[in-house]
């Protein structure tokens, strides 16, 4: 029994001072049910993706979804967490409930509120997604981890500053057309390439424009079994999906290969019976520009060490052979940890049913690929989506 996405909701990402974790959850849960054309009593199960790690004083947040409607009371509800891939972990858990026959309709919500946290604590909370025993003293927190990855990549494959600036510029340009994006400004290549007072180095060779944004936001989807989905007004099916977990310590693997990403893509594409060339677009996890560069290689778009070719030759631009992050990615859209993976599924579904915001719509989109990553390629989730109605 397969699953399909039949409804969704998405808040703007960014600094949301007037919101709370509860209000963000309630907002998207309510709106997603309306979008799917169902009532709360029809929901069989609820999954909440919420990383937290200290960002929210209120923990044990699963039951906050019930605040959206009294009819959700007594529904089985679970909070899941898998670092920055928490949103996709929630989506995949919802799909598994349907495939197991335990539910016909599942409400999946992803949320995070980060901007109310003092800046000194943000890096500490994010660094909890690394192996603290060996990496807990990394200067610059999680940005420092990826700064080390970037430095090692440069040492092995040469200076990639031009390519990283091109990735940043691409994603910021794409973010202009995304009404949910935190930063809707085309910064241009020159600004992203050069160090300046407004674009200082943050960690290693990574500048501010190479790093994703601290964000508040939420997204939600309604999943239904395929039979139920075919009775809805539109439906986006999971043609393939994979979850691969790798070692947590960087010392246990070659961090420049993102092996878990590679395996997840191979498994999901094989399950879908397609190749990377068949995809109309990809939403990938650009927590840092070096991550997107390495993901080009890990997904099989280029050979290892040759990822720069994909951006320099325009392959991943909105009008390229495989548009990547037409939403603006985490770089421009923002990265409220628990919401990111759900957001990727919402925006990809919009693309496939022709409901993406004006200027963001990929022409004749048939198949969409999603890669959501937790930690430094530790939790790796891939979904291949297609419209089935």
Q: Tens digits of per-residue pLDDT, 51-87?
A: 999 999 999 999 999 999 999 999 999 999 999 999 9
Split into its structural domains, the chain has a count of 1
Answer whether residue 71 is part of any domain: yes
pLDDT of residue 120: 86
> Mean pLDDT over residues 88-108, rounded?
98
- Written as six digits, the tokens of 161 are 């500053």
Model pLDDT for residues 175-232, shown as the tens digit of each residue? 999 999 999 999 999 999 999 999 999 999 999 999 999 999 999 999 999 999 999 9
pLDDT of residue 60: 97
Q: Quick check: 1 pLDDT over 80?
A: no
Answer whether residue 97 is part of any domain: yes
Which domain CATH number covers 92?
Answer: 3.40.47.10
Model pLDDT for residues 354-368, shown as the tens digit of each residue? 999 999 999 999 999
Answer whether residue 291 is part of any domain: no
Answer whether residue 350 is part of any domain: no
Answer whether residue 67 is part of any domain: yes
Answer whether residue 219 is part of any domain: yes
> Mean pLDDT over residues 371-387, rounded?
98
pTM score, whole prediction: 0.98
Full domain range(s) for residue 56: 3-117+214-229
Answer whether residue 21 is part of any domain: yes
Answer whether residue 181 is part of any domain: no
> Mean pLDDT over residues 149-171, rounded?
98
Share the mean pLDDT of the chain.
Answer: 97
């Amino acid at each position: 029994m397969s699953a399909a996405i039949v409804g969704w909701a998405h808040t703007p990402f960014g600094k949301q001072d007037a919101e709370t974790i509860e209000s963000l959850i309630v907002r998207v849960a309510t709106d997603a049910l309306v979008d799917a054309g169902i009532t709360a009593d029809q929901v069989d199960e609820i999954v909440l993706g919420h990383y937290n790690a200290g960002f929210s004083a209120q923990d044990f947040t699963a039951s906050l979804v019930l605040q959206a409607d009294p009819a959700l009371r007594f529904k089985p509800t679970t909070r899941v967490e898998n670092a920055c891939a928490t949103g996709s972990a929630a989506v995949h858990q919802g799909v598994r409930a349907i495939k197991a026959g335990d539910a016909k309709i599942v409400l999946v919500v992803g949320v995070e509120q980060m901007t109310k946290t003092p800046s000194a604590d943000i890096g500490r909370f994010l660094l909890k997604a690394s192996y603290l025993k060996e990496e807990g003293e990394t200067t610059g927190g999680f940005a420092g981890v990826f700064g080390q990855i970037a430095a090692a990549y440069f040492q092995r494959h040469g200076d990639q500053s031009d390519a990283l600036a091109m990735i940043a510029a691409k994603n910021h340009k794409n973010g202009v057309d995304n009404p949910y994006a935190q930063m809707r400004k085309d910064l241009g290549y020159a600004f992203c390439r050069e160090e300046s007072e407004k674009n200082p180095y943050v960690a290693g060779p990574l500048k501010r424009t190479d790093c994703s944004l601290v964000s508040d936001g939420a997204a939600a989807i309604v999943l239904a079994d395929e039979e139920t989905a075919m009775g809805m007004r539109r439906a986006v099916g999971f043609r393939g999906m994979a979850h691969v977990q790798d070692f947590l310590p960087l010392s246990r693997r070659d961090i420049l290969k993102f092996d878990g990403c590679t395996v997840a893509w191979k498994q999901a594409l094989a399950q879908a019976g397609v190749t990377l060339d068949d995809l109309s677009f990809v939403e990938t996890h650009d927590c840092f520009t070096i991550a997107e560069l390495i993901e080009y290689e890990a997904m099989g778009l280029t050979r290892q060490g040759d990822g720069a070719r994909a951006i320099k030759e325009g392959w991943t631009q909105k009008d390229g052979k495989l548009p990547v992050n037409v939403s603006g990615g985490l770089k421009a859209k923002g990265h409220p940890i628990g919401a990111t993976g759900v957001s990727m599924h919402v925006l990809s579904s919009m693309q496939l049913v022709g409901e993406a915001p004006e200027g963001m719509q990929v022409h004749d989109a048939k198949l969409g690929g999603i890669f959501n990553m937790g930690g430094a390629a530790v939790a790796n989730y891939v979904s291949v989506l297609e419209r089935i109605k």
